[in-house]
Amino acid sequence: MKIYTRGGDKGETTLLGGVRVAKNDPRVIAYGTVDELNAALGVVIALENRNPSGFPPDELRSLQEDLFTLGARLAAVDPERALRKGMIPALAEDRIAELEAWIDRLNADLPALDAFVLPGGSIVAAQLHVARTICRRAERNVMELFAEQPDLAEVVIPYLNRLSDLLFMLARYVNHQEDHKDTLWLPQRRLRDDNR
């Protein structure tokens, strides 16, 4: 099977369901950003495999599976029909609650936070911050579809919102495990200290 089809050479692609749209269609931008996020998590997994930080890569792979599921949902012309016919999988109903439980477990092991954190630290944590920012962009891109697809608020938007929180917590956790203190953004405190 050839990897290239030449079908997109004129700037169009086919959605799941056969409809042709421009490659800059908001739907394509949304699932493309979800795919970019998935690739960013692949970098985290590759880095983590070389230098373990204390969380199993299998947990990150489960996030990649979720993102493929969301991408398929976003690429489907009629997602409900595609779900009913078994053309795409559904995200498990309790998946968002599982992410929240994961966030809570991580948070319990971390020092309290009272300021914004500057992205960075270890290479794995820095890449998790990159993934977090891509996740936020994916969320904004999905919101472009919200007016015509309000059902996105049921799973897709809450999942991406929670995932970005999880990626932030994972970055903090990795830095904590590797004895990198969070670098805090403290402009107001510095101003007060400078004026004393």
Q: What digits encode the pLDDT tens for the residues 91-130?
A: 988 999 999 999 999 999 999 888 899 999 999 999 999 9
Residue 112: inside a domain, yes or no?
A: yes
- Distance, CA of 46 to CA of 30 (rounded, Å): 25
Which pLDDT value is given to residue 117? 92
Query: Which residue's structure tokens are 């799941």?
Result: 16
Residue 122: inside a domain, yes or no?
A: yes
Domain count, the chain: 1
C-alpha closest to that of 143 among 130, 132, 152: 152
Residue 172 sits in a domain whose CATH number is 1.20.1200.10
Residue 5: inside a domain, yes or no?
A: no
Q: What is the pLDDT of residues 37-93, one digit of tens each?
A: 999 999 999 998 776 766 677 889 999 999 999 999 999 999 889 999 999 999 988
DSSP structural state of residue 181: P
pTM of the model: 0.90
- Asked if 30 contacts 144 with a C-beta cutoff of 8 angstroms, the reply is yes
- Asked if 33 contacts 40 with a C-beta cutoff of 8 angstroms, the reply is no
Residue 106: inside a domain, yes or no?
A: yes
Which pLDDT value is given to residue 28? 94
Which pairing describes strands 12-14 and 116-118: parallel, antiparallel, or unpaired? unpaired
